[in-house]
Structure 1
């Protein structure tokens, strides 16, 4: 009621009046006019004052005049909207007539009905505002705060409230909107079954709780959360006397959160009608949350599509400009705003090599067995968490984007890496194609050198291929041996080998090409010492392959010759050297000059050589011969160059025992160790058994 409505005219001037109503909690609530002083309130609420017989007979009210107060007192019942007992007094200064009493009671009833109608209008307006919010607002925080404000308007018996939503990640209920609480309410987080909100969310049943019930239900709340709640309510040591209502927020059968309201100042008892009304607002909130989430998802999807289209346009422009790998890597880095390096598996290098990330990755075992992975990986390299995004060609990784994970990657980051990897793959495959064309030309020229039909033309063409026809040269053949089932994997290993060779031999003049599982090199050297340096570099590469999960690398080196006409001879020697080391099944590289006597056996079948060894030593494999260690004695005798004393010393036997064993060996093998032919046969068999 406005202040000017708190007086009544029609009497002898303006008279002040007061009205009370008995609440559901059996307490009298002062409704109209200025608040009473403590003395007036004590006086007016004195029950003895109201125990009287009506001076005026009426079935609608009881009344009497109190001369001590100079006021006419009334008591009557209101039937609508609910049945409530009403008390009123008017400072009349005299006893009112029956007509005046009827008029006053009618006036008070009218004011109370107006108040009820206004309350209904407020509640209706709150509902309409809530419905309007559902269609006019899509910003979730603003919408939820608006709904909570409407709750307090529609349910005037409550003073404050807050809304909690369930966070599946933390598995806690977290406040998202509040009215009448301090900011620390947003630190009040509860688990399922914890506190009033946790209990209501768990059970899915709304409830009204008094202070005693509330304290019991809040007893399991964590200490930090409870402190946040107390601070939000403006108290520190004692939980205030409050009534509370809490209802679940759910969409269909899915529980989303909890809505909680408090009554601090007693107005009336909270009823199930209030609980149903609160549930209605909770249902509004559920609809609002669902709409906002759908809108957010739609907006995110739209933004994702727009950004994806933009990303596609950026990389399309890079493709049309024929941008290099460094530019592509820089573009990816700029678009995801994280350090990015592009690792080329073939060349075993990063692009660009000068960035902080590339420097951190330098000299690291970057792939560490992951080079065959076509899936994304998150690993730690040199204590740096990185994301490896593979660049794949026909099912085989040829490179990786290496992203330093200063944060988690978003879906749009993955799109950037996806588009960037496609462009890089195209760029690298085009480069491979051009390189393969060049190697094909090298292969054709090499075959012309082997045939050596037009010397003058070959001299001219050799200069085009980076060779000096007037300098000495030699040929090297390297081969990748191993069970590589997938041809594309073998191709990748060969490209890696060629890249390593280019890196090691960049200070030399050479022609290099790959064919199937072999790499052939013609190299110019000006001196024996320069050839030794070149061979050392080739050995370095072979050494790198010994500890890697890759095919075994072997190589053969031909002799140095002056003139292009000797390419064929050096090439044949390189192949013989390769065959020699391949038969031994030992990784490494060997030059034709270091094979020595073994050149005589390079063309022999391994089976024939093993059969010869078996035929020579088989008689010494009988049980009787083995018991006397005759084969060991013969091998030691040969190794000691037929020295009796040295052989006996090595075998830790007496010289007479050695003489006895030698005679036994000669008898069993039917040889004479002093015969040069027999001695050569045994010496050769022993030598070959060490090799085969």
Structure 2
């Protein structure tokens, strides 16, 4: 049998050997053994495989080397012989020691020290390197070295190893696929186990504290839960979400991305468990708010003495008390998003904590996008304290309007409620109003039930000729009204000469065909101006 026939048969045998195992360590060992048997003059054989995570070539297997030392090598693509062949994806046979030195000169110091120790401090005389390619993807390289003679390897030697490399690349790829599937299966099994542990806690109504305790046990690290909708974007913060809504945050000791896959899965499962707990608590709180609204509705409709006593017992109120109603509403935006129940609960609970801190007998519920608070008059300035604390807590986050009804007996709460609704309605219609008490409204109270179109016609009838003039005339009139017809004060506020003020006032009288000193004309003018200015922020 000829030498070439012997090598051909050996290659067929190698192909069988390489397909016998899917374990990467066995595959790499078989590749080295096969190459060693085919190239008898080789002193050293090394396989470097590409690591996608580090974007480097790492030592995988070898013969005639110190494996522990070579494990410290991290060749970048393009670095040294292995890196260049990996980039070019072309085999390279070196014709001289000088050419080898030229290819190796860009090896960094750390890699060179590891390599030099790994090959037992010897200098390469002859070498070739072939890429391990499968499906147009380079998986690594196979290096064959001789440390004794120059030009000891031939093109035929390299072609033989190329054939081995082709078979090896397929075997390595299959092994990687097998390992990946095995890892994914193990990951899936562990993930299911973790999921079941958290699921059982939820079924047992373990609560958030037990979920956190289990999570800390699984990841061997401390975790803190923050019940907040607002948080800083940090790697150690993991948001608890439902859809697009943030329900809270888990604060970790280490950045989430730096943790193992299993730790990340545990955190994700804990997050889902906490989300379910929060949603469950939210559903119960929504029921409680709905029940409170029903109790209030019954108070508004009127109850029998027996039913009234039951309602007051639930509210922990005394029938001799008086109370005031506050209606809270968002100015330009709603107090909470339509489908974000957690945001609503967070806001309402916060207001409830504030009211309870001022007076434990406050009664709070929601209606549509309004928050209604009934404050019994058992503590001086309770209402003012509540509003001040709400503004302190939420003033920078939300634009809130307050409508306040009069103090009434419990049996007349419907009156205070209707007044609070009218007051907050006035606040929404007038951009300069923020907190509106019904008792402090002037003629505006009389206009609550008037058709807006009728009000608009009244303003046009009284001011239309003035509105087409320069805006300074309306501004002058408004300041004149605010100063209660004080000429000197009006001129000073407008920074104009008294004669200029006199001219403007005469011009206003001429255009509107009125006399400012006529009581009826003056009253009509004041009402029309106040109505117009209240709806136009620039004045």
TM-score by length of 1: 0.66
CA–CA distance in structure 2, aligned partners of residues 587 and 325 of structure 1: 43
Check conservation: 1:389, 1:402, Cα contact below 8 A: no
1:674 to 517, 534, 538: 517
Q: When you count helix as a share of all residues, which structure comes out higher? A: 2
| Residue 157 of structure 1, aligned match among 41, 51, 54 | 41
State the Cα deviation string for residues 208-244 of structure 1 (Å, max 9, x = none): 5332332343345445544543444444xxx846222
- Separation in 2 of the partners of 1:619 and 1:137? 93
How far off its partner does 1:190 sit?
4.0
Q: Secondary structure at the match of 1:305?
A: helix
SS in 2 for 1:641: coil
Contact 2:459/2:531 (8 A) holds in 1: yes
Equivalent in the alignment of 1:532: 384
* Residues 311-330 of structure 1 mapped to structure 2, 5 A cutoff: 311-330=194-213
8 Å CA contact 2:241, 2:275 repeated in 1: no
Deviations 1:386-406 (A, max 9, x none): 3334234xx755445555643
Change (3 A) 1:570 1:157: same
1:579 aligns with 2:463: no
Q: Distance in 2 between matches of 1:129 and 1:659?
A: 111
- Structure number with the higher strand fraction is 1
Q: Which residue of 2 aligns with 1:511?
A: 363
8 Å CA contact 1:583, 1:606 repeated in 2: no
In structure 1, the partner of 2:534 is: 691
Is the 8 Å Cα contact of residues 125 and 151 (structure 2) preserved in structure 1?
no
2:60: which partner in 1? 176
> Alpha-carbon deviation of 1:526?
1.3
Which structure has the larger Rg over C-alpha atoms? 1
- Shift of residue 645, structure 1, vs aligned partner: 4.1
How far apart are 1:565 and its partner, in Å?
Answer: 0.9
Give the corresponding residue for 1:114.
none
Distance in structure 2 (CA, Å) of the matches to 1:461 and 1:339: 46
2:435 is aligned, of 558, 575, 589, to: 589
How far is the alpha carbon of 1:581 from its aligned partner?
0.7
**Counterparts in 2 of 1:675 and 1:459: CA distance versus 1, 3 Å:** same
Relative to structure 1, is the Cα distance of residues 658 and 287 closer, same or farther in structure 2, using a 3 angstrom cutoff?
closer
8 Å contact kept, 1:171–1:191? yes
Within the candidate set 216, 232, 241, 1:390 is matched to 241
Q: Indicate the residue corresponding to 1:247 in structure 2.
A: 130
The residue that corresponds to 2:91 in the other structure is: 205
Could you tell me which residue of structure 1 aligns to residue 481 of structure 2? 638
Unaligned runs of 5+ in 1: 1-79, 83-119, 349-364, 368-378, 547-551
SS at match of 1:475: strand
The correspondence of residues 180-579 of structure 1 with structure 2, limited to 5 A, is 180-182=64-66, 183-201=68-86, 202-205=88-91, 207=93, 209-222=95-108, 224-235=110-121, 240=123, 242-251=125-134, 253-266=136-149, 269-279=152-162, 281-283=164-166, 285-337=168-220, 339-344=222-227, 348=229, 365-366=230-231, 379-380=233-234, 385-392=236-243, 396-399=245-248, 401=250, 403=252, 405-408=254-257, 409-480=259-330, 482=332, 488-489=338-339, 491-507=341-357, 508=359, 509-540=361-392, 543-546=395-398, 552-561=399-408, 563-579=409-425
The Cα of 1:333 is off from its aligned counterpart by: 4.1
| Aligned-pair Cα RMSD in Å | 3.9
Q: Distance between the aligned counterparts of 2:73 and 2:342, measured in 1?
A: 58
Change (3 A) 1:289 1:434: same
CA 1:294–1:135: 2 relative to 1, 3 Å? same
- Distance, in Å, in 2 between the alignment partners of 1:333 and 1:144 is 39
Question: Contact (CA 8 Å) 1:648, 1:655: kept in 2 or not?
Answer: yes
SS at match of 1:677: helix
Change in Cα spacing, 1:264 to 1:540, as seen in structure 2 (3 Å) is: closer
Deviates more, 1:413-422 or 1:126-135: 126-135
Aligned to 1:506, what secondary structure does the other structure show? helix
What is the rounded CA distance, in whole Å, between the counterparts of 2:449 and 2:254 in structure 1? 57
Find the aligned partners of 1:327 and 1:425 in 2 and give their Cα distance. 14
Residues 590, 164 of structure 1: alpha-carbon distance in 2 compared, 3 angstrom cutoff: same
Kept in 1, the 8 Å contact 2:50–2:57? The answer is: yes
Q: Which segment is superposed worse, 129-138 or 177-186?
A: 129-138
Q: How far has the Cα of 1:154 moved from its partner? A: 5.1
Q: CA deviation at 1:512?
A: 1.7
* Secondary structure, counterpart of 1:181 in structure 2: coil
Q: 1:502-553: CA deviations, max 9, x gaps?
A: 121123212222121122222223133333323433444562443xxxxx53
Q: What residue number does 1:359 align with? A: none
CA distance in 2, matches of 1:485, 1:520: 12
Does the 8 Å CA contact 1:336/1:416 hold for their aligned counterparts?
Answer: yes
How far apart are the structure 2 equivalents of 1:653 and 1:297? 84
The question of whether the paired residues in 1 share the 8 Å contact of 2:236 and 2:251 is answered with no
Give the match's secondary structure for 1:528: coil
* Inter-partner Cα distance in structure 2 for 1:216 and 1:664: 97
Count, aligned residues: 528
Distance 1:667 1:225, change over 3 A: closer
C-alpha deviation, 1:81, in angstroms: 7.8
Which gives a bigger RCO, structure 1 or 2 (Cα 8 Å, sep 6+)? 2
1:169 Cα offset (Å) = 4.6
Give, in angstroms, the shift of residue 143 of structure 1: 5.2
